[in-house]
Structure 1
Amino acid sequence: MIVVAGEALVDLVPQRPAGPPDRPGTAPGGTPLPPLQPWPGGGPYNVAVALGRLGSPVSFLSRVSRDPFGRVLLDRLAAAGVRTHLVQRGDEPTTLALASVDAHGSADYTFYVQGTADRLFGDPGPLPDDTRALSLGTLSLVLEPGASAYEAVLRREAARGVLTALDPNVRPALVDDPDACRRRFTGWLPHTGLLKLSEDDARWLSRDVPADRAARQWLDRGPAAVVLTRGPRGLSVATSSGRSVDVPAIPGPVADTIGAGDTVHAALLHRLAEESLLSRTALEGLGTGDWQEILRFAARAAAVTCSRPGADPPRAEELDRPLPHDETP
């Protein structure tokens, strides 16, 4: 069983440009208001959905609102085959994330987090005995008081031998004290088996040290492997056993990149689980060819997510058939 811990929220994703100024659908003064599509999201939530769709046994650990958005979030988990018996419930509203998507499909977010349900997560105590991996990341590790509870789970499960996977997925707008956030991140590394992050995250966390060099420094503090996502330049991994492997991105259409990194994170864990490699020792023993296969699988899964709007990760059967850009005319 893989347990994914962290926030569930709703992304508000712009759908298309609004009409001409001073027409219905525009703000006073003529500023266009594009229609917004509510989309279930949140980094850990997307990872759980992606794992469920790929066929991994997975449980979600979070605190979810009882409001209508919260009910939709739980319904989508169930539809993906994700177990929700570890989910706590609250009467507070669901966190909202307003997405701004640029011409290349990259998204930036404005978050509405005050008084929301997920940040009041409480430590549930030891996880079920069949837990083989624990995945954490994103807002849940920043927003108190829930952040301290998630950190307690991370430390306890790592101490009892569970493989821990961390994706910090930094949102600088929500960080009041960057230096304290970086120190806290460094404190997680001795308890982290697999660290996955984007190049942008790596630069922010390392104060602009080149991502490859930062990855090697972090390996010295605990992780068995550090996977970097490089956008259109693909994926790379550096390991504590000295290996370094790169694979290219899968070319194809890009609707947006929402959920692409979360899909990579899920695909890595899924492939490791399929091969019974969910342990620090197993990660340390993987060869170059093993990592190439795992990273290529993750890149392929991310390409499917990028090809459609919102965080909509692929199902297992979609990765068993050619992608549209794989086909020759």
Structure 2
Amino acid sequence: MIVVAGEALIDLVPRGTGALAALTPALGGGPYNTAVALGRLGSPAAFCSRVSYDAFGEALLDRLRETGVDVSSVQRGSEPTTLAVASVGADGSASYSFYVEGTADRLFTAPAALPPGTRAVSFGTCSLVLEPGASAYEELMRTASGQGVFTALDPNIRAGLIPDADAYRARFKSWLPSVSLLKLSAEDAEWLGGTPQEWLAAGPAAVVVTQGGDGLTAFTRDGGVYAVPGERVEVVDTIGAGDTVNAALLHGLAVRDALSAPALAALGADGWAGLLGFAARAAAITCSRAGAEPPYAHELEG
């Protein structure tokens, strides 16, 4: 079982051009998209979050159930669902503004235990910024790591939600001893101001950096550097692409029985090439269609 911990929200995606283009609601949130992608790839997955009782919350849970994701660890609340208004650039890249005050996911509390059979827990995005929930997710990360559970982190920086950049950067560094696999975009790496080598020295067994259409690069503690090019595709938008990479990496590691630091170290060049290539293909499919629509396993066969 791979558990994904973090927010579920509604993306309001423009259908057309101009400031007053019609907005279409779409199910989203980085961790939520990762859980859906894991389910579509066929990995046993569970979602750990706090979701509203409103209509958006019900729709979010319905999709998880339809995808085969366990929702027994989802907390519920009467507060509204978080909204993210997406802006899509000419190249398909997406940026967001958020409506987060008083929303349900901010009030997440750390569970007493993880679901039985948990092999890995994935964290990231807004849920590690917005208090008081951020401290609860941080507690869960440290607890899981202390129990020997594989932990993955994608900070997926949303700078508009971070009131004190320096404080967040310091907090990010404090998480690294509890992280097995760090995945982040080149833009996030630049914003954080560190290097893969510095982050590896602080704890993770591997760091994967995504460079959009230019591909992915993995860095390991023994000095290994493994890169694959991006898959060429006609980009509709990039919504959910990084989340798909998270899921593809975790799924690929689970298939290889490599959800541990020693197993990551033993992957070698061929193992990393296969894993990163799989993630690149999965992300390309997501980019080829509107919104966060990660691929199913059969779309990646061969």
Q: TM-score band, normalised by the shorter chain?
A: over 0.9
Task: Give the Å deviation of 1:126.
Answer: 2.3
Name the amino acid aligned to 1:13.
V
Aligned twin of 1:67 = 54
Task: Give the Å deviation of 1:129.
Answer: 3.6
Contact preservation (8 Å) 1:100, 1:108: yes
Cα distance in 1 between the residues matched to 2:180 and 2:222: 13
Aligned twin of 1:196 = 183
Aligned residue among 222, 242, 247 for 2:223: 242
Contact preservation (8 Å) 1:126, 1:156: no
Aligned residue among 83, 91, 94 for 1:104: 91
3-state DSSP of counterpart to 2:121: strand
Task: Give the Å deviation of 1:271.
Answer: 0.5
Contact preservation (8 Å) 1:3, 1:59: yes
Q: How does 1:1-329 map to 2 (within 5 A)?
A: 1-17=1-17, 33-206=20-193, 214-320=195-301
Name the amino acid aligned to 1:295.
L
Task: Give the Å deviation of 1:16.
Answer: 1.5
Cα distance in 2 between the residues matched to 1:261 and 1:318: 18
Cα distance in 1 between the residues matched to 2:39 and 2:160: 30
Contact preservation (8 Å) 1:126, 1:153: no
Task: Give the Å deviation of 1:15.
Answer: 1.1
Cα distance in 2 between the residues matched to 1:320 and 1:279: 25
Task: Give the Å deviation of 1:242.
Answer: 1.6
Cα distance in 2 between the residues matched to 1:71 and 1:129: 25
CA offsets 1:101-160 (integer angstroms, 9 cap, x no match): 000000110000000000100111221341100000000000000000000000011011
Query: RMSD of the alignment, in Å?
Result: 0.9
Cα distance in 1 between the residues matched to 2:32 and 2:91: 24
3-state DSSP of counterpart to 1:10: strand
Cα distance in 2 between the residues matched to 1:288 and 1:247: 11
Cα distance in 1 between the residues matched to 2:133 and 2:265: 32
3-state DSSP of counterpart to 1:3: strand
Cα distance in 2 between the residues matched to 1:239 and 1:97: 34
Cα distance in 2 between the residues matched to 1:286 and 1:153: 28
Give me the identity figure in percent: 61
Which structure 2 segments of 5+ residues have no match? none
Contact preservation (8 Å) 1:70, 1:94: yes
Which structure 1 segments of 5+ residues have no match? 19-31, 322-329
3-state DSSP of counterpart to 1:13: strand
Name the amino acid aligned to 1:312.
E
Contact preservation (8 Å) 2:73, 2:115: no
Contact preservation (8 Å) 1:98, 1:110: yes
3-state DSSP of counterpart to 2:34: helix
Cα distance in 1 between the residues matched to 2:115 and 2:148: 13
Cα distance in 2 between the residues matched to 1:305 and 1:129: 31
Cα distance in 1 between the residues matched to 2:167 and 2:10: 28
Name the amino acid aligned to 1:66.
Y
Cα distance in 2 between the residues matched to 1:167 and 1:125: 24
Cα distance in 1 between the residues matched to 2:139 and 2:79: 23
Contact preservation (8 Å) 1:125, 1:153: no
